[in-house]
Each structure stands twice: as C-alpha cells, then as structure tokens.
A and B are shown apart, each in its own frame.
Chain A
Amino acid sequence: MKETFFRTLSWLHTWAGLLVCWVLLLIFFAGSLSYFRHEISLWAEPELHRGAFQDYQANQVVSQLDKGQDYIESHSPAEAQRWLINFPTQRNPMLNFAWQLPPEKGQRRGKIEQHTALADGSDMITHVRDSRGGDFFYRLHFDLHYMPAITARYIVGVCTMFMLIALISGIVIHKRIFKDLFSFRQNKGARSWLDAHNVSSVIALPYHLMITYTGLITLMLIYIPWTVTTAYPEDNQAFSKELNPARQTEKASGISAQQVRLSQLLPQVQVQWGDAPIKQVMVSNPKDQNSQVTFYQNTGKDVTDESTLLVFSGVTGELKYASPHEVSGAVVTYDTMMSLHTARFAAPLLRILFFFCGLLGCAMVATGTLMWAIRLRQKQQKTIEKGEKVGLGLRLVEGLNFMFILGLPLGAVAFCYANRLLPADFATRSAWEVHSFFIALCAMGIWAFIGRSRRHWQVALMLIGALYCALPILNAFTSPSHFIDNIQSQQWALVGFDVFAALFGGAMLFASTKLSVMVKTLQKPNRKNVASDKKVIPKSLDTRYATKLATSSPLEEVKS
C-alpha cells in the first residue's frame, strides 16, 4: 500500500478507526452502561424502591416456592407458556413471581408479567411502570434500534472487525508504547489529543483487545456459520443441542396433567447442590404432559458463562438433566470468553473497573476522532484563512463528533428523565423513553448544524452536566426513597446510580469551565501573539483555536 509496512499500518489505523468511529462510540457507550443493566432497570422502576428489598434466606425457600406456585396458578392466565420464580440475588434483591405470555404476532418472545413480593410477605406489588430500563442499553449494544436485529448484528460485527484491525495496527505503529503511558503533554493542541488517545488506549489495552475479540465470539455463529455446516452436514440442530444441552425444551403436548409441587423437588436439588443458593425456578409448559421444571443455581463469581442447572419433569418430578461438572477445554474457553465479555461473574468493584475501562474505550474513540478533525482543519487552515469555505468532509466530521460525543450522554440522561416524567400509565411509555434517547441524539445533530465552535461545546457540556447533576434530585422527587433513605436501607445500587450521575455531571461541568477558560485565554493574549505573527485572525472561534495548534502533524511525528 504505502512504502513501508509501518506506514501502511499507520494509514490502515487511521481509516479503519475513522470509518466506523461513531457507531463504535455508540456501541462502547451502550456496552459500558450494560454492565449496570440490572441496576439501571431497578432505578427505572421506582415502585419497587420501598418495602420490596430482601436477602436470600435458605430456610424460607420452601415456603416461598409454595407461595409462588399458588400465586402464579391463581393469577396467571391458562395460556401462560412459562412460570418463573426469581429468588433474591445480590444484584436483584427481590422475590418475583412472573409468567410469560405466548408471543403476539410478529414478536419473537412473549411478554413477561412480573409481580414482586413485599419483604414482609404481606402483599404483592402488581403495578410497575412499563420501562425497558437497562435492557434498552443492553439491546442497543448489539441490536441497535429501528432496524431488524439481524441486520444490526451484521453492522455491529463489521464495525467490531474494523475495531480489531484498528487495535492491531495501532499497537504496531506505536513504537514507544511504554514511554507514552507516562507522557501527557497538556495544552499542546493536537499533541495533547494524541497523548490522550494514547493514554486511554494503552492503559486499558488488554481490556480493549479482550472486549473486541470476545465481542466477535459472542455472535460468532451468526458471522461465520460455515464451520457448523461443514462439521454437521446433516443437521445444525445437533450442534446447538451440544452447545446448550439443557435448552431443548420439549413442545407442549396439549394433554393436560397435574403439575408437581415445586417444593417437593427441593430434596433432590439439595442432594445435587447442597446448600448452594437458587437463583431461579422456571416451569415451562405448565400443567402439560411435557412440562419441565428447571432450577438455576446462583453461581455468583465463577468465571464461566454456562449456568449450573437441574431439569426435572414437571409431572413426575424425575430428574432429567444435570449440568455436567466436567466439560471439555474448548467449551470452557468459549464460556470464559463469553463471560469475560458480559462480566456476569464480576463483583461490584470489578464491575466498576470494567465500566471504567469501557468509558476509557469511549474516550479512545472520541479522542481519536477529535484528533482527526483537528488535523483536517490544520490541513485546510491556509485555504480557510484566504476566506474560502470549510470543506464538506471537515464539516461532516466536526458535526458528527459534536452529535455523537455530546448526544450519547444527553440521550442517556433524556432516557432517565423520560422514565420519571412520562405518566406511569401512559400506554406507549416504554417506547417513548427509547424515542427520547434518539430525539436527544438528533437534537445534538441539529445543534451541530447551527454551530460547533468551542463556545457551543462549552454550553452543551454545561447543559448536559447540569442535567446529570440534577438526576439525584429528580430521583428524590419521583421515587419513594431518596439518596439518604437508600443509604440507610443499604441499597447500594440506587446510591451508586446517584453518585455516578453526580460525578459524571460534575466532570462535564468541569470540562465546560475548563473550555471557557481556554476560550478566554485564546481570545485575549493569543490575539496579540497571532497578530504579531502577521496572520489574519479569523472571526469564528473554532478556526481561532486551530491556529494555536502545533504545525507538525502528530501522526507524522509517530511515524518518524
């Protein structure tokens, strides 16, 4: 391509990164938030914030199972496909009884109706606002939105492959990888952005590599299905059966049968698992000849994605399947890769670290594309000074930067506000919460049309920062328990949400004030400096800061 291997990869790094950077930013952002999927979901359902929190109690399991079975039998419609009893876990400290209705036309999964027990066992919470909560960000991460899921997954896959290439080529062109970890040159224009790009990439480099590759692996059977068709020429079902031996639930026979009492199965469960906590009990095709009961263990911190489960016949109570203790190396590798990506094993502190690494990934993408915009502007500086129009490419890049870097945080905060401010019984409220995310994103796009100068960045950052800082206040007014209550009742997920919102908002406000200082200093002394250099002072602010940039191109510096 270019003269040397090094230069070729440098070129490849630029283009592989830039072509998909805004989609990557969206994926990184949604993915980082998905680490706290359950916590966001909990926050989005304030009806559950009072009276429902409880811990797992081993001696209560029998009575809870009995109560749950009776409750579901008397409340669920006869056509329910599944019954679910969710026991309290660390991240979901509530007892839920739920059932899944058959899927409606055009939908793949049926709706799940979920009722939550009050901690004192006195009553059930039946009316919870309709919200997708953290699941929205989880789906956004790989299914995007407003398009068929399969199309979105191909788009995400291609972008991930670009990311992998950008990472590999980035490592190759980065000669001083260790030295640059400790160098950050402040207020040096493009050089500072390059340093920020290097630091955010290198600090979390193992994470970036891991998350990109395991991301491809989570959907590998969609991206490269040919291996399965080669190895299993007769039928693909055999492969998926080996992959998920327990998931092959039998179809309903249509012959009704007496459902076994769930609590009667507990002695068998204890023989297998001892006193290990149970996470969920699922009854598929209840009251049918082919009914199955599945017990899921709360495995907590195992670094593997495969769930430990027991499957019983729902009629006779006979044990039909127990997840194996010994599995092959390939399966363990695959499970570990999946689990590393989803971080299901992670305890709170490790989860925060993963989240922080995810944000560093966002920073890596954002600084990379900001640096590109600055370099483009540098290149066009002379023609701009002559009074010619700014090129379309540059305007597009700067506009998209403005739209995505500011629009994604704004979208997330708009989602939270919509969740609390839309009426709780509004029919399509969960859809409108999602729309509000994209409306906010588009609003930033329109703003980018009007102006993208430093002044605009500063105002937008201040606005978004203020909205984030006000989230704890919003929560205090629109949920039954405020920040202090949550500390007293030790609801660290809700406390953490408030703390994070305030910190994130604070950081944005800090960036905003930093920018305003820079704008002022650029206006005053630099005007003299530039004038003494006998350069024309352009009127708009964004061209003014470009004049301050170092003249040498940062990437050229790395190349040499």
Chain B
Amino acid sequence: MSQIPTSNSPISATTVRPLSGYVQAAIRWIKQERTQFGLQVFVRASAALLAGYVAAATLACLLTQVLPMPRFESTLTANMLAFLFYAIAIIYAFCVRKTWHAWRDLTLFSLLCFALLKVCGQ
C-alpha cells in the first residue's frame, strides 16, 4: 500500500496504472446489474444444491434417532422424507429475501440438527 503513492518513478507508474485499471474495471463489472443478478443466482443456487442437501441429510439423520420406531423403520422413513426436505430447502434458498441468508439459514439449520443429533445419539 505504501508504494502506491510513490508513483513518480516511471517504472511504478507503468505497473500500477493497469493494475488499478483492472480493479476499477472489476468493480464496474461487479456493480453492473447483470453481474449482480448472476452472482445472486450463483450464491442461491449453490446454497440450494449444497447447503440444502446437507440440511436435508442432517435432518434425516436426526429423524433416524428421534422417531419413535425401531431403528430400521425410522431409517427408511427418514430417508423417504429426506427428498421432501431437500425440495423445501431448495425453494427456501431461492425465496428468502436476502441472498446471503440462503447460506446462513441453511447452514445454521444443519448445525442445529447436527448438535441435536449429537445430543440424541448418546
């Protein structure tokens, strides 16, 4: 950082100017509406597919422990319901108001399920 103001020497001027140009171009690119939308889609879609999967799977794992049935039956039941949870998680990830909340909420939910699973598993 301290080197940037000393742009009087010809060498640093040639190296710094294009760099800052790239940064500015990148900022302009990010501020574009299209890019904003694309990033939003990427964040939400990744949350839906990855975090949603983890959330659905951990909830299903939790259910295998807490459902009041023999463990074979609870495993089957939980596994059959898991896809419903996954579908709900995906739709939630696309419909939650703020983009980054998709990741936050689904991760928190997975952590909660995981903690409960650890408690119930003992």
Binding site for B on A (CB under 8 A): 1, 5, 8-9, 12, 161, 164-165, 168-169, 213, 216-217, 220-221, 223-224, 226-228, 230-232, 239, 242-243, 328-331, 333-334, 337
Contact = CB atoms under 8 A, between A and B. Distances in A.
B86 interface: yes
Given A227-B75, A227-B82, A334-B76, A169 B57 contact: no
Measured as residues with beta carbon below 8 angstroms from the partner, the interface class of chain B is 20 to 34
B71 A9 contact: no
B64 A331 contact: no
Given A12-B91, A227-B60, A328 B65 contact: no
A226 B72 contact: no
A213 B79 contact: no
Nearest to A12: B94
The 7 tightest CB contacts between A and B, nearest first, are A330-B73, A230-B61, A231-B64, A231-B75, A330-B76, A242-B72, A216-B83
A239 B75 CA distance: 9
Given A227-B75, A239-B75, A328-B73, A220 B83 contact: yes
Contacts of B72: 231, 239, 242-243, 328, 330-331
Interface in B69-95: 69-80, 82-84, 86-87, 90-91, 94-95
B80 A333 contact: yes
Nearest to B58: A226
Contacts of A164: 83, 87
B96 to A, nearest CB: 9
Contacts of B106: none
Interface centre among B56, B79, B121 (most CB of A within 10 A): B79
Contact of B76 (A168, A226, A331): A331
A224 B56 contact: yes
A217 to B, nearest CB: 6
B57 A329 contact: no
Contacts of B84: 213
Contacts of A223: 83
Contacts of A334: 76, 80
Contacts of A8: 94-95
Contact of B95 (A9, A230, A239): A9
A contact patch SS: helix
A331 B79 CA distance: 12
A220 B87 contact: no
A1 B83 contact: no
A232 B71 contact: yes
A169 B90 CA distance: 11
A168 B91 CA distance: 9
B71 A221 contact: no
B87 A161 contact: yes
B89 to A, nearest CB: 10
B71 A231 contact: yes
B6 to A, nearest CB: 47
Nearest to A161: B86
A157 B114 CA distance: 25
Given A230-B61, A239-B75, 6 more contacts: A216-B83, A227-B60, A228-B75, A230-B121, A231-B75, A331-B76
B79 A224 contact: yes
Contacts of A224: 56-57, 60, 79, 82-83
A462 B56 CA distance: 48
Contacts of A242: 72
Nearest to A330: B73
Contacts of B57: 224, 226-227
B64 A227 contact: yes
A220 B91 contact: no
Contacts of B60: 224, 226-227
A6 B40 CA distance: 18
B117 interface: yes
A387 to B, nearest CB: 26
Contacts of A1: 40-41, 44, 94-95
Nearest to A335: B76
Nearest to B64: A231
Contacts of B86: 161
7 contacts: A1-B41, A9-B91, A161-B87, A213-B84, A217-B83, A227-B79, A331-B72
A331 B73 CA distance: 7
Contacts of B94: 1, 8-9, 12
Interface centre among A5, A12, A221 (most CB of B within 10 A): A12
Nearest to A230: B61
Nearest to A5: B95
